[in-house]
């Protein structure tokens, strides 16, 4: 069934924790979730979002004026240039990540669509919502839980795509009316009505991504503690570990 | 069956109805209907403003510092006047005094507009009422040259060859059959009185003026960045003055000042060598119009005063053209005008397409309501949504409200300003007016007429050109004394504003008295109301039945041929109507715009 | 119908010599940004082209477009009106009024069906069957539809006709709509601006007559040659922008030195127009040069992208208004508080549950 896009891993990997042997063997249930390209992409994207937000904020609200010889200065231009470089890198990441969704593991596809047509999915979302409202003990999810998946899809996957597209719409403005960039992204100007409106929404998009990042960070840390499941370290090692599962 | 209005005019709607719609060579959309008796004399007149844009509703909730840009777009002909009234209203509300140099620059901007607007009005909106372009074909170029050299001896473009050439071009133009803007004009109408030579000379100046007017506005471009619709600023003017150091090229510097000087010199020349001589020459052939089209002019005149010499001071000791009102024809008695007094300026909507809770009463602009309500009376002929044949003036009939000063319908404009300044003893104005009256050999009462209105505008234009030079000298003198401040930014940031405040911005626009009333709450516009010159002059009737200036001025005018309404155009044009201004504006009401019903 | 004169004939008749005519053509070509070779083509074209009839209608507007038009320095408005086109209807300057004026419209439509140019200044209010703008006794929208039907093409003068402009700013009480939303079956050339630059207006007209075709338009329907770049792209203060030198307050030292007006809300970076190149009133200045930021008057909905002195436009959400930073502050407060509360409860729940630590449920394999 289409809804079962992510299946249980075939063989739970058992960490042998008995290296030294003084303690009883306490195997922990772990799954390989994040392949290395995804992990690199994740941290790079995190870095770029911070860089883009900072430079983007300053593009909208420039720092104090600099005195001195105008022709020797490129302060504001520099901020913009960093923004553009970071934006290109982010774009490469977005494209690569989409490519990886196709060729990578099953977990890599999770954040590219949401099976909102599936009853099962909705009931799972309901379970998660209840968990966040402290109404149940929670379930364990190998990949993202369904609510996280929806917010990743809606706020991050679509959000970053919108930022790339609107960003290139703005970038294309300086490339000129007959440039290929304008040809590819000029429609954003018509879509939003004006360059000013496009800027406004690109700027608002930054806050959407930052809000997502904050919630993402909070949920990850909380899951780590409350759900007794590795989150932050998973994105470093690739392994998701459920600390409560071990053979007695 | 005639009726007499409370302001002393006799109306008789029994005769034949004549409709002129559109009135052309004005700003905006205006419809005039008159009834003529069997001798083709106008016995009833109805003025209908036929557009409304609802800027009041749009301004609500916006940043008061932006309001000038919105209100400036009320009118692109008298561009800038609403912007100035607007920034003054915000400054009045917030208690901001602008720097002296900013005040001078604002005067320069306004005076440049006076000069250009009056010139364009005379030649391009009004002249064709008096000048038969086609008759110029019969002129003798040599005689035309002699005429031109007599009336303006110092103007170089006056050789027989110049007029001969123009005539030849004109002939081919007419022969081509493509008359463009002259198509279907009233050429050959018996009311045209100028000899062919005068017509040819005036046609030449029509074209010269068209070329020249674009020079005058460059003054606005220097200080305001563009024209039409230059930029303004709450707290001063946006341009900086910098005559020394590296900054000189980024601001108003010596080169810019020289450009302005040169334009002022050319303007004074053009007005004194071309405009005024033409005006007097044309007037001398139309002296019968010195007793027609008076209307309210000899009864009630209003001016808010203009060109403060002290920044932020709008008392008559500061204003070059004084503030005041004349009522009941008592010229020597100048009444004080207080724009904030509840019982002075009021607007009625009894005959306007708006709704009040109680339409027998007028509302002061601070309490004004603008709720559109389109409905025509039972005697209307035709359907305004398909084809309106004749309006019913006993019901609502215009998008223009009816403003009244202490209950009086008033005339505003150059004539009102000149008469009030004359009566207040302004020596420059007295000299100009007396000189013109003497040259034309007409009594002072000749001012209260269609011709008087047109003449007053020309004289004011001349006065303005000289005053422009004086203000420019003042700007330079200020710079010499080291004063280069152009903006007061103390209260720029809304966090320095009171929670709620209100203010009035006055302005004497080229067309007359203009006022903006603003209420600011929590840093946003809570209400905005403008009462503009054409609202005064083009006013429909009020609750008591008093008629406005347009309607009054048309009465008793004989028409040679009602099918060719040249006489109506002459008088209406003498006011220089601006309908986009008149039918606009602003209510502090919280109500949403309601649906319009047609009864 | 009288034989229509060519532009060249008209100029000759006006006493313009062959030599000055060729000079005029070179100047016009230069002002249009065309290569010198075009001057010849231009001269050739004008000798055989008839004067094109133009009907210039006025809807809800302020007449700033007409006023701007007559400021044109090259070509002079006088020459355009008398020699280049045949301006057979324009209620702002025409001699005739009332019936006689209306007759001009009818005659031209009949005589030049499909051959005249319709210029529209202002726009049509649609609310309440169009009663907010009545001309000649009927709603303007009807007049517009009628005369657009037989026109060769339509020129939308200014921001009113192109986008809606001030009367269409929120809440647009008269439901004013731009021309292209009413005229859908004719080419519509938008020449936005409040008003457009005079030489841009006459440039568009002379381009059509000279090259016998409509100018190349961008996606939004504006001539690329004048609206292809932002004011910012060619702004003489651009150096200060890149350097990071901004006017911080009105009339400060930066203002006097002509620094960048970005921080005072200048819309140059978001406005497509020729102000920084063609400039205004025969090249005398343009808003930025005279110390005030651009307000973006040639852009769609520029009135609703204010306040003009802020970098960020206000956005109206849930009946309240703030810019993106303002909304973000609010959102940050809500999200932050929510997370703090949630974290607090989480800690309490975790402490309570710590003793009865009994979870043995198998993980769900990410099954959605």
Residue A6 lies in a domain: no
Contact indicator for B565, B59 with CB cutoff of 8 Å: no
Helices (H), B309-426: 414-423
Mutation test of the interface with chain B: which of C95, C240, C265, choosing the one with the most B Cβ atoms within 10 A? C95
Mutation test of the interface with chain B: which of C290, C302, C313, C316, choosing the one with the most B Cβ atoms within 10 A? C290
Instruction: In whole angstroms, give the CA distance from residue C231 to residue B226.
Output: 14
Nearest Cβ partner of C363 from A140, A144, A196? Answer: A140
- Would residue C164 be called left, alpha or beta, if left means φ above 0 and alpha means ψ between -120 and 50 degrees? left
Three-class DSSP labels, C135-183: ECCEEHHHHHHHHHHCCCEEEEEHHHHHCCCHHHCCCCCCCEECHHHCC
**How many other CB atoms are found less than 10 A from the CB of residue B343?**
11
Nearest-Cα residue of chain C relative to residue A73: C243
Instruction: In whole angstroms, give the CA distance from residue B152 to residue B138.
Output: 22
Q: In B, which residues are within 8 Å of C170 by CB distance? A: 58
Lowest mean pLDDT among A219-233, B72-86, C3-17: C3-17
List, in order, residues 6 or more apart from A10 with CB less than 8 Å away: none
Mutation test of the interface with chain B: which of C62, C87, C280, C313, choosing the one with the most B Cβ atoms within 10 A? C62
Q: Give the CATH class of B56-176+188-352+400-536.
A: mainly alpha
In whole numbers, what is the pLDDT of chain B averaged over residues?
A: 94
For residue A29, pLDDT over 80 is answered with no
C249 and B50: CB-CB below 8 Å?
A: no
**What is the per-residue pLDDT for B599?**
38
Mutation test of the interface with chain B: which of C90, C98, C254, choosing the one with the most B Cβ atoms within 10 A? C98
B29 and C98: CB-CB below 8 Å?
A: no
Kindly write down the DSSP assignment for every residue of B288-327, as one continuous string: GGGSSS-GGGGT-EEE--EEESSTT--STTTEEEPPEEE-
List, in order, residues 6 or more apart from C172 with CB less than 8 Å away: B58, C164
C23: confidence class by pLDDT, cuts 50, 70, 90:
low
Nearest Cβ partner of C258 from B77, B133, B247? Answer: B247
Nearest Cβ partner of A66 from C245, C272, C312? Answer: C245
In angstroms, what CA-CA distances link B256 with B221, B270, B484, B585, C261?
10, 21, 15, 37, 20
Q: Cβ of B218 under 8 Å from any chain C Cβ?
A: yes
CA distance C324 to chain B (A): 17
3-class DSSP state of B108: helix
CA distance B37 to chain C (A): 20
In angstroms, what CA-CA distances link B465 with B110, B206, B305, C93?
11, 19, 17, 25
**How many other CB atoms are found less than 10 A from the CB of residue C307?**
19
Query: Is A in contact with B (3 or more beta carbon pairs below 8 Å)?
Result: no
User: Which tops the pLDDT comparison, A144 or A102?
Assistant: A102
Q: In C, which residues are within 8 Å of B242 by CB distance? A: 256-257
Output DSSP code: residue C266.
-
List, in order, residues 6 or more apart from A19 with CB less than 8 Å away: none
Largest Cα–Cα separation, chain B: 77
Please state the length of chain B: 599
List pLDDT tens digits, range C212-269: 899 999 999 999 999 999 999 999 999 999 999 999 999 999 999 999 999 999 999 9
Please give the average per-residue pLDDT across A1-30, as a whole number: 43
CA distance B335 to chain C (A): 33
C244 and A194: CB-CB below 8 Å?
A: no
Nearest-Cα residue of chain A relative to residue C244: A76
**How many other CB atoms are found less than 10 A from the CB of residue A9?**
20
Residue C307: is the preceding peptide bond cis (ω within 30°)? yes
3-class DSSP state of C238: helix
Tokens of C32: 């249009």
Positions in chain B whose pLDDT score sits under 70 = 247, 583-599
Q: Cβ of C145 under 8 Å from any chain B Cβ?
A: no
In angstroms, what CA-CA distances link B299 with A44, B34, B548?
82, 22, 12
Residue A200 lies in a domain: yes
A75 and C300: CB-CB below 8 Å?
A: no
In angstroms, what CA-CA distances link C86 with B179, B500, C104?
7, 55, 12
Residue A226 lies in a domain: yes
CA distance C364 to chain B (A): 53
Contact indicator for C246, A65 with CB cutoff of 8 Å: yes
DSSP H helix total and E strand total for chain B: 17, 16
Rg over CA atoms, chain A: 22
**What is the per-residue pLDDT for C205?**
95
Residue with tokens 């436009």: C313
3-class DSSP state of C347: helix
Please give the average per-residue pLDDT across C132-148, as a whole number: 95
Kind and range of the H or E run holding C118: strand C117-121
B372 and C88: CB-CB below 8 Å?
A: no
- The end-to-end CA distance of chain B, in Å, is 27
Q: Cβ of C31 under 8 Å from any chain B Cβ?
A: no
C67 and B486: CB-CB below 8 Å?
A: no
Q: In B, which residues are within 8 Å of C303 by CB distance? A: 58, 70
Residue A112 lies in a domain: yes
A196 and C366: CB-CB below 8 Å?
A: no
Kindly write down the DSSP assignment for every residue of B507-557, as one continuous string: EEETTEEEEEEEEEETTEEEEEEEE-HHHHHT----TT----HHHHHHTT-
Q: In C, which residues are within 8 Å of B20 by CB distance? A: 97-98
C257 and B246: CB-CB below 8 Å?
A: yes
Neighbouring chains of B at 3+ CB pairs under 8 Å are C
Q: Domain-by-domain residue ranges, chain B?
A: 56-176+188-352+400-536
A195 and C248: CB-CB below 8 Å?
A: no
Output DSSP code: residue C271.
-
CA distance B114 to chain C (A): 15
Q: In C, which residues are within 8 Å of A29 by CB distance? A: 363
Nearest Cβ partner of C98 from B176, B242, B565? Answer: B565
Buried/exposed B418-457: b ≥16 CB within 10 Å, e otherwise: bbbbbbbebeebeebbeebbeebebeeebbbbbbbbbbbb
CA distance A138 to chain C (A): 9
**What is the per-residue pLDDT for C327?**
87
Instruction: In whole angstroms, give the CA distance from residue B571 to residue B286.
Output: 13
C81 and B178: CB-CB below 8 Å?
A: no
Q: Identify any residues that bridge with B30 across adjacent strands, giving them in sequence order.
A: B49
Rg over CA atoms, chain C: 28
3-class DSSP state of A63: coil
3-class DSSP state of C217: strand
Name the percent of chain A lying above pLDDT 90. Answer: 51
CA distance C213 to chain B (A): 22
Nearest to B500 by CA among B531, B465, B525: B525
Instruction: In whole angstroms, give the CA distance from residue A134 to residue C335.
Output: 18
Question: How many independent structural domains does chain A possess?
Answer: 1
**What is the per-residue pLDDT for C35?**
54
Name the percent of chain C lying above pLDDT 90. Answer: 68
Contact indicator for B17, B42 with CB cutoff of 8 Å: no
Mutation test of the interface with chain C: which of B48, B187, B240, choosing the one with the most C Cβ atoms within 10 A? B240
Contact indicator for C101, B184 with CB cutoff of 8 Å: yes
A232: confidence class by pLDDT, cuts 50, 70, 90:
confident
Q: Cβ of B599 under 8 Å from any chain C Cβ?
A: no
C291 and B225: CB-CB below 8 Å?
A: yes
Nearest Cβ partner of A190 from C219, C271, C349? Answer: C219
Between B and C, how many CB-CB pairs are < 8 A? 345
Q: In B, which residues are within 8 Å of C286 by CB distance? A: 225-226
CATH number, domain of A230, equals 1.20.950.20
Q: Cβ of B307 under 8 Å from any chain C Cβ?
A: no
Tokens of C71: 């400021």
Kindly write down the DSSP assignment for every residue of B429-465, as one continuous string: HHHHHHHHHHHHT--GGGGSSHHHHHHHHHHHHHHHH
Q: Cβ of C312 under 8 Å from any chain B Cβ?
A: no
Please give the average per-residue pLDDT across C28-50, as a whole number: 57
C244 and A77: CB-CB below 8 Å?
A: yes
List pLDDT tens digits, range C349-364: 878 876 555 444 444 5
Contact indicator for B337, B324 with CB cutoff of 8 Å: yes
Three-class DSSP labels, C78-92: HHHHHHHEEEEEECC
Residue with tokens 């302004």: B426
Nearest-Cα residue of chain C relative to residue B253: C256
**How many other CB atoms are found less than 10 A from the CB of residue B4?**
10
Residue A247 lies in a domain: no
Buried/exposed C38-54: b ≥16 CB within 10 Å, e otherwise: bbeebbebbbebbbbbb
Q: In C, which residues are within 8 Å of A120 by CB distance? A: 367-368
Nearest Cβ partner of B181 from C10, C93, C289? Answer: C93
Query: Is C in contact with B (3 or more beta carbon pairs below 8 Å)?
Result: yes
Q: In B, which residues are within 8 Å of C51 by CB distance? A: 176, 178
Find the domain containing A86 and state its range: 29-63+74-242
C95 and B70: CB-CB below 8 Å?
A: no
CA distance C125 to chain B (A): 8
pTM: 0.91
Contact indicator for A143, C366 with CB cutoff of 8 Å: yes
Tokens of C75: 């070509």
Using the Cα atoms of residue B459, residue B461, residue B467 and residue B469 in order, give the sign of their dihedral: negative
**What is the per-residue pLDDT for C224?**
95
Residue A17 lies in a domain: no
For residue C45, pLDDT over 70 is answered with no
Residue with tokens 């609703």: C304
Contact indicator for C180, C188 with CB cutoff of 8 Å: yes
Nearest-Cα residue of chain C relative to residue A205: C324
């Amino acid at each position: 069934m289409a809804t079962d896009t992510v299946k249980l891993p075939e063989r739970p990997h058992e960490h042998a924790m008995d290296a030294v042997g003084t303690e009883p063997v306490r195997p922990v249930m772990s799954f390989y979730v994040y392949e290395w390209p995804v992990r690199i992409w994740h941290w790079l994207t995190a870095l770029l979002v911070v860089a883009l937000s900072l430079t983007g904020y300053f593009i909208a609200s420039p720092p104090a004026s600099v005195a001195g010889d105008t022709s020797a200065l490129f302060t504001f231009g520099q901020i913009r240039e960093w923004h553009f470089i970071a934006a290109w890198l982010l774009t490469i990441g977005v494209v690569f990540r989409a490519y990886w969704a196709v060729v990578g593991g099953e977990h890599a596809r999770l954040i590219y669509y949401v099976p909102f047509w599936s009853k099962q999915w909705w009931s799972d979302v309901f379970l998660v919502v209840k968990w966040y409202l402290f109404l149940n003990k929670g379930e364990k999810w190998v990949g993202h839980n369904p609510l996280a998946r929806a917010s990743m899809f809606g706020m991050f996957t679509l959000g970053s795509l919108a930022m790339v597209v609107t960003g290139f719409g703005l970038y294309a403005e300086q490339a000129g009316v007959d440039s290929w960039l304008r040809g590819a992204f000029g429609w954003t100007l018509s879509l939003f009505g004006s360059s000013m409106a496009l800027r406004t929404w690109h700027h608002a998009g930054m806050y959407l991504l930052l809000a997502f990042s904050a919630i993402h960070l909070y949920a990850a840390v909380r899951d780590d503690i409350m759900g007794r499941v590795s989150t932050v370290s998973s994105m470093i090692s690739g392994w998701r570990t459920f600390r409560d599962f071990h053979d007695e | 069956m005639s009726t007499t209005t409370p302001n002393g005019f006799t109306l008789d709607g029994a005769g034949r109805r004549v409709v002129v719609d559109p009135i052309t060579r004005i700003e905006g959309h205006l419809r005039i209907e008159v009834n003529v008796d069997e001798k083709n004399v106008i016995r009833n007149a109805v003025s209908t403003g036929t557009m409304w844009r609802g800027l009041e509703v749009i301004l609500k909730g916006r940043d008061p510092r932006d309001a000038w840009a919105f209100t400036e777009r009320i009118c692109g002909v008298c561009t800038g006047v609403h912007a100035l009234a607007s920034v003054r209203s915000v400054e009045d509300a917030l208690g901001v005094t602008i720097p002296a140099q900013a005040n001078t620059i604002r005067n320069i901007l306004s005076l440049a507009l006076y000069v250009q607007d009056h010139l364009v009005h005379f030649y391009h909106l009004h002249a064709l009422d008096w000048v038969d372009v086609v008759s110029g074909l019969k002129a003798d170029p040599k005689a035309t040259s002699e005429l031109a050299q007599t009336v303006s001896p110092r103007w170089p473009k006056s050789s027989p060859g110049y007029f001969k050439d123009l005539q030849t071009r004109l002939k081919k133009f007419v022969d081509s059959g493509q008359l463009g803007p002259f198509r279907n004009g009233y050429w050959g109408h018996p009311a045209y009185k100028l000899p062919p030579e005068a017509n040819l000379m005036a046609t030449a100046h029509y074209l010269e003026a068209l070329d020249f007017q674009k020079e005058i506005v460059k003054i606005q471009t220097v200080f305001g960045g563009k024209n039409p619709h230059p930029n303004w600023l709450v707290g001063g003017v946006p341009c900086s003055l910098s005559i020394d150091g590296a900054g000189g090229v980024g601001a108003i510097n010596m080169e810019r000042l020289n450009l302005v000087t040169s334009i002022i010199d050319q303007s004074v020349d053009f007005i004194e060598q071309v405009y005024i001589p033409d005006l007097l020459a044309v007037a001398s052939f139309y002296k019968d119009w010195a007793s027609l089209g008076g209307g309210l002019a000899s009864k009630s005149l209003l001016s808010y005063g203009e060109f403060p010499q002290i920044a932020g001071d709008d008392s008559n000791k500061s204003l070059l053209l004084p503030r005041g009102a004349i009522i009941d024809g008592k010229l020597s008695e100048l009444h004080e005008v207080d724009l904030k007094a509840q019982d002075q300026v009021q607007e009625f909507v009894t005959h306007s397409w708006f709704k009040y809770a109680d339409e027998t009463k007028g509302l002061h602009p601070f309490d004004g309501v603008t709720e559109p309500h389109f409905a025509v009376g039972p005697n209307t002929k035709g359907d305004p949504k398909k084809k309106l044949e004749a309006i019913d003036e006993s019901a609502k009939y215009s998008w223009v409200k009816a403003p009244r000063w202490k209950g009086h319908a008033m005339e505003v404009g150059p004539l009102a300003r000149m008469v009030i300044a004359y009566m207040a003893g302004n020596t420059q104005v007295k000299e100009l007016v007396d000189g013109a009256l003497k040259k034309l050999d007409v009594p002072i009462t000749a001012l209260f007429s269609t011709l008087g209105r047109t003449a007053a505008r020309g004289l004011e234009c001349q006065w303005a050109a000289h005053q422009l030079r004086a203000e420019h000298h003042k700007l330079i003198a200020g710079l010499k004394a080291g004063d280069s401040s152009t903006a007061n930014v103390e209260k720029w940031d809304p966090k320095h504003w009171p929670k709620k405040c209100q203010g009035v911005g006055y302005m004497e626009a080229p067309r007359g008295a203009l006022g903006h009333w603003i209420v600011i709450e929590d840093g946003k516009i809570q209400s905005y109301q403008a009462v503009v010159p054409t609202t005064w002059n083009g006013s429909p009737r009020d609750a008591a039945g008093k008629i406005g200036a347009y309607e009054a001025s048309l009465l008793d005018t004989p028409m040679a041929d009602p099918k060719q309404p040249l006489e109506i155009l002459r008088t209406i044009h003498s006011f220089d109507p601006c309908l986009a201004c008149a039918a606009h504006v602003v209510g502090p009401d919280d109500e949403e715009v309601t649906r319009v019903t047609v009864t | 119908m009288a034989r229509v004169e060519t532009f060249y004939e008209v100029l000759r008749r006006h006493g313009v010599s062959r030599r000055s005519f060729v000079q005029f053509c070179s100047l016009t070509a230069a002002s249009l940004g065309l290569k010198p070779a075009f001057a010849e083509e231009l001269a050739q074209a004008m000798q055989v082209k008839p004067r094109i009839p133009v009907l210039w209608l006025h809807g809800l507007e302020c007449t700033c477009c007409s006023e701007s038009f007559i400021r044109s320095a090259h070509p002079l408005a006088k020459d355009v009106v008398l020699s280049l086109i045949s301006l057979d209807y324009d209620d702002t300057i025409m001699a005739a009024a009332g019936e006689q004026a209306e007759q001009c419209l009818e005659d031209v439509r009949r005589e030049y069906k499909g051959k005249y140019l319709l210029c529209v200044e202002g726009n049509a209010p649609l609310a309440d069957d169009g009663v907010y703008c009545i001309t000649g006794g009927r709603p303007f929208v009807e007049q517009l539809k009628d005369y657009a039907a037989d026109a060769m093409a339509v020129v939308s003068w200014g921001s009113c006709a192109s986008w809606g402009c001030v009367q269409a700013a929120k809440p647009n009480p008269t439901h004013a709509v731009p021309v292209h939303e009413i005229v859908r079956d004719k080419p519509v050339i938008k020449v936005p601006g409040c008003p457009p630059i005079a030489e841009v207006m006459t440039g568009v007209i002379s381009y059509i007559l000279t090259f016998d075709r409509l100018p190349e338009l961008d996606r939004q329907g504006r001539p690329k040659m004048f609206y292809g770049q932002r004011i910012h792209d060619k702004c003489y203060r651009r150096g200060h922008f890149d350097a990071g030198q901004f006017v911080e307050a009105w009339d400060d030292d930066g203002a006097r030195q002509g620094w960048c007006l970005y921080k005072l809300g200048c819309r140059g970076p978001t406005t497509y127009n020729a102000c920084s190149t063609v400039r205004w009133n025969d090249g005398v200045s343009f808003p930025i040069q005279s110390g005030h930021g651009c307000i973006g008057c040639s852009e769609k909905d520029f009135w609703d992208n204010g306040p003009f002195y802020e970098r960020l436009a206000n956005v109206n959400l849930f009946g309240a208004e703030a810019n993106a930073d303002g909304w973000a502050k609010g959102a940050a407060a809500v999200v932050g508080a929510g997370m703090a509360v949630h974290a607090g409860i989480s800690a309490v729940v975790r402490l309570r549950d710590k003793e009865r630590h009994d979870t043995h449920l198998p993980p769900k394999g990410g099954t959605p």
